[in-house]
Amino acid sequence: MQHEKFHYQSLADIQRTAELCNAFLPLNEDVSPLFQPLKIGRHTVANRIALQPMEGTDGLEDGTPGELTWRRYDRFARGGAGLIWFEAVATVPEGRASAHQLQITPANVDAYKRLVAHMKETCLKNNGYEPVIVMQATNSGRYSKPTGTSDPMIAYHCPPLEEPLLDDKHILSDDQLKRFTDAYEGAARLASEAGFDGVDVKCCHRYLACELLSAFTRPGPYGGSYENRTRFLKDAFRAAQSGVGNGFLTTRMNAYDGFPYPYGFGVHEGSLEVDLAEPLKLIGELVDEFHIPLLNVTMGNPYKNPHVNRPYDNGNYIPPEHPIEGLGRVMKGLSDIQHAYPELPLLGSAFSYLRRFAPALASGMVSGGHCAMAGFGRMAFANPDFPCQLRENGGVEKVCMTCGGCAQLLRAGIPAGCIIHDREMYKL
């Protein structure tokens, strides 16, 4: 079905469109399943609502959380989500996505320690429990802009993402990749020292580790075969494992990139359909070797096919599909993975599109056993109090309008937030 803007007045309206789009969209008006606790390794999260990592481009030049970073996480902690997945934090300076992306270093680890302690205290005081907090460790690879100008570090030439193709000098050598995997040890050690409960070896949205999963055309030890394409991620996990101490390891992983073979992971060889064979194999290996107690699943690329990553009303182009179709793709992928690994708690993404009906989808997914937790990104910027509101009133007061404003701010390298509900702070 063609793209159209959000116009739903009821769950029945959404259900009808989902049927027309053949989209998998389990809805449950009763949101109480979202307020059941869940075991994640040795932690218990108080509820099934997570805040997804949302980069705010508001760190200091040396990667220390800035004033607006503090404001964001203070509000997130008050809001009552059981789990807060702290945004992308660079593992090496050249892998920062902007001059204001966070980076944890021995020199600033105490600032992170203060922020994490503040988040735990604030949530405890306001909600009666501490959130589980995961730090997302990243290397932006192709999307590196450490000084504010693009300085891509790529795994291979990817025509759907390069028009024209980049100079070969941007292709990372095997030695550089090895050095980058080693950097996850230091990042995990610092994250643990700062008090984060877990570390995410970020493998999504076509940043470096994710891009390597589709490096079919790259020669050498990091490309071609499945074993080679997954080498970087597994080596990064091994490095992080030796640094993480008592914390747990996890990943936010793309189960589907949305680019044709040989340029996409989780994509059928002859079409753009989802093919979970390799993602499922990889997840099984991460469970077996690293005992991941939780997996965060996402899809797409926020630069080239953001409609896959976060269905929207307004963006740079009109998507080739109906937003409900895109939402259904994410939910079906989640459900298939959760059913393949019923013991592994799965955290889902992309719920914000449904606005005030998003909690019903979250509840439908959780109560139906299609995922264990629902993660919200744009909604957290629009209304950081929504988990408390949902718990207390069964509904949310303000919602994300999927206007794309926060993403535009992020791309411009300036502090990102909601330009509608927080407009005193954030303007385009």
Ligand X SMILES: Cc1cc2nc3c(=O)[nH]c(=O)nc-3n(C[C@H](O)[C@H](O)[C@H](O)COP(=O)(O)O)c2cc1C
- Distance of closest approach, residue 139 Cβ to ligand X, in angstroms: 12
Nearer to ligand X, 17 or 309 (CB): 309
Q: Is 53 in the site for ligand X (CB under 6 A)?
A: yes
DSSP-derived pairing of the beta strands 38-40 and 346-348? unpaired
Stretch that binds ligand X, among 112-120, 178-186, 273-281, 372-380 (CB under 6 A): 372-380
Helix (H), strand (E), coil (C) string for 96-141: CCCCCCEECCCCCHHHHHHHHHHHHHHHHHHHCCCCEEEEEEECCH
Q: Of 31-39, 243-251, 318-326, 351-359, which segment contacts ligand X by CB under 6 A? A: 351-359
191 binds ligand X (CB under 6 A): no
> HSE-up of 344 (CA within 13 Å, CB side)?
27
**Interacting stretch for ligand X, rule CB under 6 A, among 275-283, 334-342, 349-357, 362-370?**
349-357
Which CB sits closer to ligand X, 157 or 421?
421
| Touching ligand X, residues 388-427 (CB under 6 A) | 406-407, 410, 416
Q: Are 371 and 346 in contact (CB under 8 A)?
A: yes
Applying CB under 6 A, among 17, 28, 47, 52 the residue interacting with ligand X is 52
Residue number, 54 or 274, with CB nearest to ligand X:
54
Q: Which C-beta is closer to ligand X: that of 256 or that of 376?
A: 376
* Selection from 227, 249, 37 nearest residue 129 by Cα: 37
CB of 350 to ligand X, least distance (A): 4
Site string for ligand X, 74-113 (x = CB under 6 A): -------------xx-------------------------
205 conformational bin, left if phi > 0, alpha if psi -120 to 50, beta if neither: left
Contact by Cβ (8 Å): 351, 374: yes
Task: State the pairing for strand pair 198-201/248-256.
Answer: parallel
Q: CA 86 to CA 359: how far, in whole Å?
A: 21
Which residue of the chain is nearest ligand X when measured via CB?
A: 377
Q: Are the beta carbons of 105 and 61 closer than 8 angstroms?
A: no
Point out which residues pair with 44 in neighbouring strands: 39
Q: Which of 351, 357, 386, 426 binds ligand X (CB under 6 A)?
A: 351
98 contacts: CB under 8 Å, gap ≥ 6? 57, 145, 146, 148, 413
Tokens representing residue 405 in the block: 């404003």
Shortest distance (Å) from residue 84 CB to ligand X: 12
Q: Find the binder of ligand X among 119, 212, 379, 401 (CB under 6 A).
A: 379
The binding site for ligand X (CB under 6 A) comprises 52-55, 87-88, 136, 204-205, 252, 298, 309-310, 349-353, 376-379, 406-407, 410, 416
